[in-house]
Amino acid sequence: MNIALIAHDKKKDDLIRFAIAYEQIFQEHSLYATGTTGKRIMDATSLSIHRFQSGPLGGDQEIGSMIAKNTMDAIFFFRDPLTAQPHEPDVSALIRLCDVYSIPLATNMGTAEILIKGIERGDLSWREVAKESGVEPDGNN
């Protein structure tokens, strides 16, 4: 599976701890991240991560492009709901794309725990079937 890891500045430490805790699960998948988040996770773990630009410089949009091409399977985006983000329109667009393409999105530790356990059990195997058949998750071809 292709999995994206994104975190706002005040949530990066949380995502790093999460990646350390579930490193064995993450290492079985292709990982993508926005700039600084990806670097910090790689520094703290042995995970290999394809790094895009930082979020404000277009990294969110690069991940959004993968969603639109049906090549992203799950996103862990630890958001800071209490701090205004200068690139909020990009954040909103990314969340909207997840809804349009039925991409599982965890925006906090609670949903992240559920999503990573689902990935571990194989609950997202429908993503592989959808990609192989060329059928988008909403049923369109």
pTM for the model stands at 0.88
Tell me which amino acid residue 105 is.
L
| Confidence band, pLDDT 50/70/90 cuts, at residue 125 | confident
Say which of 13, 60, 80, 90 is annotated catalytic: 60
Q: Which domains does the chain have, with CATH numbers?
A: 2-81+93-132 (3.40.50.1380)
Residues making up the chain, counted from first to last: 141
Question: Catalytic: 60?
Answer: yes
Q: What is the pLDDT of residues 46-75, one digit of tens each?
A: 999 999 988 778 888 899 999 999 899 999
Q: What is the pLDDT of residues 7-58, one digit of tens each?
A: 999 999 999 999 999 999 999 999 999 999 999 999 999 999 999 988 778 8
| Whole-number Cα distances in Å, 67 to 12, 18, 71, 117, 133 | 22, 23, 6, 21, 17
How much is the pLDDT for 85?
Answer: 73
How much is the pLDDT for 134?
Answer: 64
- Angle of CA points 136, 2, 135, to nearest 5°: 10
DSSP conformation letters of 91-126: HHHHHHHHHHTT--EE-SHHHHHHHHHHHHHTTTHH
